[in-house]
Amino acid sequence: MKQQIRILIADDHAIVRTGLSFLLGTKKDFIVVGEASDGEEAVAKAIELKPDVIVMDLMMPVMDGATATSRIHNLLPESKVLILTSFGMANDLAKALANGAAGALLKNSANGELVEAIHAVMDGKRAVSPDIELILGSEPPIPDLSSRQVQILDSIARGLSNEQIATQYDLSLSSVKTHIEKLLAKIGAANRAEAASLALRRHLLKTQ
């Protein structure tokens, strides 16, 4: 008999974990070996259980799915992470894939798509659904911002002037201008107003 594919489910909603466990448990070649309710628990369970595939939600408490994916990919490179999310944020999806996820699809995908994606990543293939590809192509991913850049962006979003930002962070005006120029170039914004709008739309601020 062919060896079953061992699966770990990581999602912060119990009803989703239950539904996925039931669905995947009906497949003779799958066995659900564990569940996790947040990213940190997903990493711990992955280390303990060494599953073949981790079906990973993106938006979870304690540790998000993209960060958990990175930890698992580094610690257990043989385990395949498959992102399953209801949120289509291009930056989060791109980050998870860059961190080692073998595939990604939305939670409104058909049951058969999830089953096919699990088999695909087990075969060493990249399993990214057309919907995810469309999201990734709609807006370019934004590189990670430094803590200073997040502070500057937060100040811009709150409508602070260069002088106020300089006072708040004990910087010279020329330093503030340089920080803003580099920040705008990094996130692809033409001006302060566009930067503030983009920050709110794409959840770039730590306080959101």
Among 2.170.150.70, 1.10.10.10, 3.30.565.10, 3.90.1150.10, name the CATH number for the domain at 147-201. 1.10.10.10
Q: What is the CATH number of domain 5-138?
A: 3.40.50.2300
Please tell me the distance from the alpha carbon of residue 184 to that of residue 116, in angstroms, as a whole number: 41
Per-residue pLDDT, 207: 45
Nearest Cα to 13, choosing from 67, 87, 92? 87
Cα–chain center distance at 159: 29
Q: Which residues contact 17 (CB under 8 A, 6 or more apart)?
A: 9, 11, 35, 37
Rg of the chain over all Cα atoms, to the nearest angstrom: 20
Q: What is the pLDDT of residue 178?
A: 94
Q: Where are the domains of the chain?
A: 5-138, 147-201
What pTM was estimated for this model as a whole?
Answer: 0.68
10-residue averages of pLDDT along the chain (208 residues) = 90 96 94 97 98 96 93 95 84 84 92 95 92 75 81 89 94 94 86 81 59
Q: Take residue 59 and report the two structure tokens written for it.
A: 């938006």
Angle between helices 147-157 and 162-169 (to 10 degrees): 140
8-state DSSP, 61: S
**What is the Cα–Cα distance from 136 to 93, expressed in whole angstroms?**
7
